[in-house]
Amino acid sequence: MSLVVKLAFCPHCRKEILEKTVAFPFCSEVCRDADLFNWLSEDYVISRDLTEEEWNEIIQKRFDKLDPYDPNAF
């Protein structure tokens, strides 16, 4: 029986990580907290209110091409 280990990339620092990391999808609590800080300090923002249709379109496009094992997916 072989064990399959999948790698992913931290969306904050782009470091390779294992799927079973405690802070997944981040490589560490530091990156997770840094990402949260970016949202709280409004470095990451949603520029305007979107309609439900626009949200659904964005979400669908994102999930159609999302590959958590691809470093360029985020």
pLDDT at residue number 46: 77
Q: Does domain 7-65 have CATH number 3.20.20.60?
A: no
Q: For 25-31, which contacts have Cβ atoms below 8 Å and span 24 or more sequence positions?
A: 25/68
Domain boundaries, the chain: 7-65
pLDDT at residue number 35: 92
pTM score, two decimals? 0.53
pLDDT tens, the chain, 74 aa long: 556 666 788 888 999 888 777 888 899 999 999 999 998 998 888 777 888 998 888 778 766 666 666 666 55
pLDDT at residue number 73: 56
For residues 24 and 17, is the Cβ–Cβ distance under 8 A? yes
